[in-house]
Structure 1
Amino acid sequence: MGMQRGVAWFWVLVCAVALGLAAVWGLPAVKRGDADPVGAWVGLAGLMVAGWSGWMSWRALRHQERDAVAMAGLLARAVLQGESRARAQLLGQDSTTIDVRFGARPATTRNAAGAAEEGRLSEVASYYQRLRPGRLVITGGPGAGKTVLAVELILALLENRKPEDPVPVRLSLTSWTTLPASPRGVGRVAANRDPGVAAQAVRAWICRHLVDTYAGISPTTAAALMDAGLILPVLDGLDEMAAEDTPGYGSPARQALSVLNAFQQGRSKAPMVLTCRSEQYEALAAVQVWAQDAARIEITQVSHAQVRQFVHERVESTARWECLLDALDRAPSSALVRALSTPWRLTMAVTTYEQRDAATGEYLREPEDLLTPALGTDHAVRDHLLGLFLQDAITRRRAPRGGTYAPGQVRAWLGVLATYLRSNTLTGRTVAGRPLSGTDLVPHELWPLIGTRRPRMVEAALVAVTLSGVCTLGMWVSDWGFASAPVFVVLILPVFIALLRGNGHHWIQAWPERPRIGPRQLRAPQAQRRTAVLLAFVPLVGLGYPLLVKVQPGMALGISFCLLFGFLVWLVARPGGSVDTLDIMDSPRTAVRAELIAALLFGLPVGVLYGAMVRPVFGLLAGAAIGLLCGLGGTGTRYIALLVCTRRGRHALPWRLRRFLHWATEAGLLRVAGTAYQFRHRELQDWLAAAPPTTPDDTPCPGQTGRSPRSSFTAG
């Protein structure tokens, strides 16, 4: 299969090179006046043959993708790589885990068969494989380790996976923005959805996640994987869909659970793994809604023996910790024991109290400091550990290019983001029918943080200024001068606008789309039709503008072919098109880098050709401007508008926001979930949102421009 795919790509490149050579060879002849009309028609016929050959090669590539079993193998390797990295982030870049125990909590009826009474983290894969059907609900208190247990299950299943086994894929339930709502005025019967409707809702959501998260998976491939039953959804955070601690019958969590109950695979319920806090899950069970035909387990608190074992395995000098461990044994009901009874807080305590001075190697603090009377309550221990955790993370991880982020800056910026997420959770805020997430940080979707109108107005202004500047400069260098303004307005400007609109720029719609043109996107029929329209516009630009500067028609035809060649090079060379391996779009930085490269591959050929025929300066400026706008798409320009609007004030964020979020992930303050960032733990997010405003009183590191403190957040 790899050989056939390589041949297909070879023919696509041959077609592109042939177009380029024809254009380069033909331009000198046109300039000398030696162009042969018959030869031109022959060349056009060859172009049609080359286009047909390229189309057949592309169809071959799409056909190869339909081998679902082979693609599932590639997906399994990509998921294994991504979840291994996620595990390291959750454990603080350490492989030592607490072998937490869990017990079965069966529902009153409709339970999965094969569930044992108890189990532990190291045996979770075998526990799950005995279930019939394979539906598992993981519950526990805050910080109990639900996500870690789910990740351990994913890794264990992948390490022993057979080719026909489904691939476990973790999804955040808060990203399910297309969840169908129950019809108003209809009672409980409406909640038991038609299995076909439920299957379509779940299938569409998972397919979109696969396409957005794994570069190399097309919508056709994602649908084939779902239809073949080769995807095991691991759904994380049912409790995070609800704003209240006790979600009711009308909550999004209940609606999601009802749809998942109606989601079937063949004659039985579709396999899945679900995580939820115990309090919220029991509130749903109180209104007679739970995961049907599933086994529910609940993670128990960390025992004294497990605390001692974890400390001995994790720390470098156990003697330093004996005083604290002995005190915990003597007072088993103290606030400190309760605070350290969850893996999250115990990991924080060990991490922060094991930090050493980089110059002398001395420990910065002693574990016995936790025994001070000031830490006599659960909240005091929590605030103490979270403060040290944030401080150590900033100290340990240097900012990009060797700089340092000021602690006040980090606290203020993270506080803005955490307060925004908390506001979304408490208010259930929606924008244009899409609920705003209370956990996910997707940079180009953060613009509602400053309101729903201002960023869209700024985006429209940026695009308008760019297009106006390009047209003004074009009129200035043309032989007709500014008298050519009507032609620009009627011919050139609409073409540029259509090109931008076709690649994701929608200034009226609330939620812009990402760039639509590229090898990954062209695997969908809708994108193929859109590309055909754009390919018709590109020669129009090549023919229209040179006429304004009195270039011969033959020369304009050659320029059109060169533009078409540059466009085809962009389509073939744009990153993310390989299906031999699946690259994880584990950070929005990856997507932005691909979009910028695409913009340069598209804009620079346009600029060079225009510059060669008219004036170099204008060509480069016009090509770069249009290429960047087109390559960034609507999401890129909306993100730039967000940065412009958050320079100062109570919503101030760093100018290099993506770089800061990536640094926070490397520092252990955030984690990656698909194409979104999330706080390392919900407790850290809530603590930052509830903390009083801080003032970044330290000097910013080089290249950072955040200058303003955070104050209370007001939804825009």
Structure 2
Amino acid sequence: MSGVVPGTRVRRTGVVYLTLLAVGSVGALLVARRMQDPASVLAALLPTWAGAYLAWSTYRADRSEAVVACGPAEVADRLADAVRRQWEAEAAMRLAAPHPLPVAWRDADPVLAEACDAQGLAGRGDEIVDVFTRRVPARRLLVLGEPGSGKTLLLVRLVLALIERRATDDPVPVLFPLASWDPAVLDLRTWMERRLVQDHPELGARASDAFGQVTLAAVLLERRLVLPVLDGLDELPPAVGALALHRVDEALPYGCDMVLSSRPDEYRAALRPCGAVPARLAELAGIHLQPLGAEEVAAYLRDDAGGPRAPAAERWSAVVEPSDTAGPVAQALTSPLMVSLARSVYNPRPGERHERLPDPGELLRLRTHTAVSHHLLDAFVDAAYRPHPRRPCRWSADRARPALRFLARSMDRGRDGTAELSWWKLRHAVPAALGPVLAGVLLGIVAWLLEGIGMELTHHFTPDGASVRWDQRGGLGVVAAGICGGLVCGLAAGLAATTLCVLAAAPDVTAGLVLSRLADVTTLTLAGMVISGFALGHRPRPRRPAAWDRGALVTALVAALCYTAAFGNGCGAVHALLYGVAAAAIGADGVRAELTSPAARVRWHFSGQGLGRGLQVGLLIGAGILLEGLLSDVLSGGDGVQYIAPPHPLAAFWASLQTGTVFGVACVLVHGLRAVPVDLGTSVDARALLANDRRTLVTCVLTATVVGAVSIGIQGWCAVLSGSTLVWGAEAAGGPVWGFVVGLIPAVLTGLAIGIRQSAWGHYTVARCYLALRAGLPYDLMAFLTDAHDRGVLRRVGAVYQFRHIELQHRLAAPTSPSATADSPRAPQAPR
């Protein structure tokens, strides 16, 4: 749902109308065969399509008006609700037991934050919202703190408190983890817009025309209905710190509410760039988080262990002695992160016995606070995955640690400039050619089966129709593979289809059969590339010869040589070279990259431009067939044998028309099926996006099947009514069902190609299988990530995952992450 009732009603009305129109047109064509003048029925149908276009345009306009009927204020309200649910779930896991740590703060150094009219900002706990709303008149706050001091959790509490107090038309506080921002590539406002669309995909929808050609996310940012809470300036590379601060100042000048968090040293370095003018944020008030007190830490750990007099709490007596504030353990336990880790490692959960857990007294044997920190970080994974009688554990610590280490290293390398994990980006961890090759093999096999079964069924019900040739099947799958993944994908599909054809013809396999099939599949790969270039390219016009795709030219030359060797003449070489030149000049030009985020569903985007491009593809592909047929006598040496196209001019014309129609409809489908985002009112966690993205592929197949089969079937039936004796190379004795059955196959394959291309689920499936075999990751990776989140190892930020703290990620990602340091005892193991 889009959350707009009128839009739902308009969509349902449009679907019913189009269904009735298609059924009525097909029914009229079926009845026309029994009439004395079938052509009159066709002539009567043609004017109705003008009215159909008008009705469709009215439907789209009404739908657009319904979608934009909700203004920016309503969209902001929906965003606030989504953000609240997102961080309430996270806060329940991090802040609830036994109670939130009493984080306190003081005024920051005036050199770092010099708001002239800010009042005293010292406070603790839930006072953070009063500090921001009442004591900082400009509502611009800098939160400084050492590693693990609780900056992120304090910001989460601030976000939730601001949403709770939010009135109508107030900005929505949104927490943006800056670790995924590359300031050298994107300005802050553009990055925030993309982040909003990624975490809340409905904001990627186009806003009303009154706001221009922009998304709803851009409208919210432009109208200052989003309060940016920027977390982790220190997590950016030091070399871009000053640039990042400059970008923040550009995007959020004085007058814009904002919250920014960082470590003090990194922020000071960003303020003092070498050889450059520093960027200072005007009217920025600052607070500096304070270390936890020894008494507060002792009370927290004892309360979590069952109370001050509980046996498990007594184990902390010697460790958190208030008089020993200078020891390594006391120094390490001044940060909320280390206290939380110590609680997880040494305190029992409900139903556990403390006798089976490690003794916190072992921390006293460590000589530095760094060793204590490393020991707690190393022991945390064992503690998170220790077995529990009330909570079965699918993965042991020994199985989980290698997977977490691989994920931490992948995130630490920052291939795409982020320190986060999203399932749709796992495709970067597998060889680039693996996905297209597997998709091509799948399409080649499916096409071979569908074409063969379709021919068998047609021959069974219409004995006078086409004869079944299993050694000639699979070509449509090669076209779909070329659309889906270009040259590599198409050639993989062609190789799979050729292999099946050879096996079907065994033992009567000849060199001519193999060469002709190889020539066919390479030529059809080029045809798929042409369709992809026209449908998805930014500009479907020829490039300069210097920029042509040489791989397409080589493939065309190989196809021409194979045709020549198979037939002993020039049949097939003309259209192979024609498609090769077209693919080199257009097919590889401007094709859009894969979606960077998962799709939720698809919609049919009807446009005159799409129809125009489909017409261009149909004319180009049909011209190759027609030219081949008109020159067949010359190319074949006059032997009269039919090879690629019928030698008779009229038959060649109908063959070119019908073939061009198939490819033209495929181009319209590729251009028209567009991905749209999910509803803000639905969950935006990874599982929900994966399920929605998986449904996208099914929707693509179903939509393309209906539209393509009806379009191609009607065209084939019109060819019969107009006097053509052949339909798709077979006698027209199959009756009216013949054209629709044949049109069903390319429609299904085109929809499958579009779905694989636009949805991220297929790439994720390939990636998780590959990583399970090569890197030891669990096959059910989504369940593993969800379980790691529930155990506190990962935290969820929108639809992506991050490690609980950047220090834990860096520790796991280290080249050698031993379970014990040189001066520390062996890390505790989970009880057996």
TM-score range, shorter chain: 0.7 to 0.9
Q: Report matched runs for 1:557-568 at 5 Å.
A: none
Structure-2 change in CA distance of 1:672 and 1:514 (3 Å) = same
Measure the CA separation in 1 of the matches of 2:130 and 2:249.
24
What amino acid is the match of 2:174? V
1:284 and 2:270 correspond: yes
Question: What corresponds to 2:748 in structure 1?
Answer: 623
Measure the CA separation in 2 of the matches of 1:175 and 1:389.
25
Measure the CA separation in 2 of the matches of 1:559 and 1:17.
25
Measure the CA separation in 2 of the matches of 1:496 and 1:22.
32
SS at match of 1:74: helix
Q: State the shift of 1:641 in Å.
A: 4.8
Measure the CA separation in 1 of the matches of 2:389 and 2:190.
40
Q: Report matched runs for 1:372-383 at 5 Å.
A: 373-383=364-374
1:456–1:638 contact (8 Å) kept in structure 2? no
Question: What corresponds to 2:595 in structure 1?
Answer: 513
Measure the CA separation in 2 of the matches of 1:310 and 1:516.
42
SS at match of 1:318: coil
Query: Of 196, 219, 222, which aligns to 1:224?
Result: 219
CA deviations 1:55-109 (Å, max 9, x no partner) are 11222034324x1112111111111111112223434x64720121101114337
Q: State the shift of 1:389 in Å.
A: 2.5
Question: What corresponds to 1:436 in structure 2?
Answer: 417
Measure the CA separation in 2 of the matches of 1:618 and 1:520.
22
SS at match of 1:456: coil
CA deviations 1:354-383 (Å, max 9, x no partner) are 33585xx42355685335643443344334
Query: Of 232, 244, 259, which aligns to 2:247?
Result: 259
Measure the CA separation in 1 of the matches of 2:616 and 2:345.
59
Question: What corresponds to 1:339 in structure 2?
Answer: 332
What amino acid is the match of 2:225? L
Measure the CA separation in 1 of the matches of 2:188 and 2:84.
23
Question: What corresponds to 2:83 in structure 1?
Answer: 79
SS at match of 1:330: coil
SS at match of 1:274: strand
CA deviations 1:250-301 (Å, max 9, x no partner) are x212111011123345xx3522111111221222334455544211211000
Query: Of 75, 83, 99, which aligns to 2:102?
Result: 99
Measure the CA separation in 1 of the matches of 2:413 and 2:58.
54
Structure-2 change in CA distance of 1:349 and 1:302 (3 Å) = same
Measure the CA separation in 1 of the matches of 2:534 and 2:669.
20
Structure-2 change in CA distance of 1:693 and 1:640 (3 Å) = farther
1:499–1:630 contact (8 Å) kept in structure 2? no
CA deviations 1:398-439 (Å, max 9, x no partner) are 999x77123222110111121233344xxxxx6xxxx532x2
Structure-2 change in CA distance of 1:364 and 1:171 (3 Å) = farther
Query: Of 434, 459, 466, which aligns to 1:458?
Result: 434
1:583 and 2:576 correspond: no
Structure-2 change in CA distance of 1:386 and 1:120 (3 Å) = same
Q: State the shift of 1:31 in Å.
A: 3.2
SS at match of 1:15: helix
1:45 and 2:40 correspond: no
1:214 and 2:200 correspond: yes
Measure the CA separation in 2 of the matches of 1:657 and 1:263.
38
CA deviations 1:162-184 (Å, max 9, x no partner) are 1121111111112223x246xxx
2:14–2:59 contact (8 Å) kept in structure 1? yes
Query: Of 157, 176, 199, which aligns to 1:152?
Result: 157
Question: What corresponds to 2:313 in structure 1?
Answer: 321
1:114 and 2:118 correspond: yes
Q: Which moved more, 1:496-505 or 1:636-645?
A: 496-505
Structure-2 change in CA distance of 1:640 and 1:132 (3 Å) = same
Question: What corresponds to 2:691 in structure 1?
Answer: 593
What amino acid is the match of 1:381? V
Measure the CA separation in 2 of the matches of 1:657 and 1:206.
28
Query: Of 300, 315, 321, which aligns to 1:310?
Result: 300
CA deviations 1:92-145 (Å, max 9, x no partner) are x64720121101114337525324241212100110113232211111111100
SS at match of 1:138: strand
Question: What corresponds to 2:638 in structure 1?
Answer: none
1:689 and 2:675 correspond: no
Q: What percentage of residue pairs aligned between the two structures are identical?
A: 22
Measure the CA separation in 2 of the matches of 1:232 and 1:419.
32
2:533–2:589 contact (8 Å) kept in structure 1? no
Measure the CA separation in 1 of the matches of 2:412 and 2:689.
27
Q: State the shift of 1:448 in Å.
A: 4.4
Q: State the shift of 1:679 in Å.
A: 0.5
1:503–1:517 contact (8 Å) kept in structure 2? no
SS at match of 1:328: coil
Structure-2 change in CA distance of 1:396 and 1:622 (3 Å) = farther
SS at match of 2:229: strand
Question: What corresponds to 2:178 in structure 1?
Answer: 173
2:76–2:172 contact (8 Å) kept in structure 1? yes
Measure the CA separation in 1 of the matches of 2:604 and 2:181.
25
What amino acid is the match of 2:336? P
Question: What corresponds to 1:297 in structure 2?
Answer: 287
Q: State the shift of 1:347 in Å.
A: 1.6
Q: State the shift of 1:519 in Å.
A: 6.9
1:422 and 2:412 correspond: yes
Measure the CA separation in 2 of the matches of 1:520 and 1:475.
27
1:86–1:672 contact (8 Å) kept in structure 2? yes
Question: What corresponds to 2:235 in structure 1?
Answer: 240
Measure the CA separation in 1 of the matches of 2:297 and 2:791.
25
Structure-2 change in CA distance of 1:693 and 1:150 (3 Å) = closer
2:599–2:759 contact (8 Å) kept in structure 1? no
**Structure 2: 5+ residue stretches without partners:** 207-214, 456-465, 476-516, 538-586, 626-644, 646-650, 714-736, 820-832
Q: State the shift of 1:676 in Å.
A: 2.1
1:392 and 2:383 correspond: yes
1:101–1:299 contact (8 Å) kept in structure 2? yes
What amino acid is the match of 1:370? G
2:80–2:172 contact (8 Å) kept in structure 1? yes
Query: Of 408, 412, 430, which aligns to 2:402?
Result: 412
Q: State the shift of 1:501 in Å.
A: 9.1
Measure the CA separation in 1 of the matches of 2:530 and 2:354.
61
Measure the CA separation in 2 of the matches of 1:94 and 1:529.
60
Question: What corresponds to 2:527 in structure 1?
Answer: 494
Question: What corresponds to 2:10 in structure 1?
Answer: 11
What amino acid is the match of 2:19? G
2:252–2:258 contact (8 Å) kept in structure 1? no
Q: Which moved more, 1:7-16 or 1:295-304?
A: 7-16
Q: State the shift of 1:342 in Å.
A: 1.0
Measure the CA separation in 2 of the matches of 1:339 and 1:669.
20
Measure the CA separation in 1 of the matches of 2:588 and 2:384.
40
SS at match of 1:381: helix
SS at match of 1:216: helix
2:366–2:372 contact (8 Å) kept in structure 1? yes
2:179–2:236 contact (8 Å) kept in structure 1? yes
TM-score in terms of structure 1 length = 0.75
Structure-2 change in CA distance of 1:397 and 1:151 (3 Å) = farther
Measure the CA separation in 2 of the matches of 1:315 and 1:153.
28
Query: Of 61, 64, 67, which aligns to 2:66?
Result: 61
Structure-2 change in CA distance of 1:575 and 1:74 (3 Å) = same
Q: Which moved more, 1:314-323 or 1:126-135?
A: 314-323
**RMSD (CA atoms):** 4.8
More relative contact order, 1 or 2 (CA 8 Å, 6+ apart): 1
2:536–2:590 contact (8 Å) kept in structure 1? no
Structure-2 change in CA distance of 1:223 and 1:497 (3 Å) = same
1:114–1:132 contact (8 Å) kept in structure 2? yes
Question: What corresponds to 1:196 in structure 2?
Answer: none
2:600–2:692 contact (8 Å) kept in structure 1? no
Question: What corresponds to 1:602 in structure 2?
Answer: 700
Query: Of 348, 352, 374, which aligns to 2:345?
Result: 352
CA deviations 1:499-518 (Å, max 9, x no partner) are 69967999999963248987
What amino acid is the match of 1:404? R
Q: State the shift of 1:22 in Å.
A: 2.6
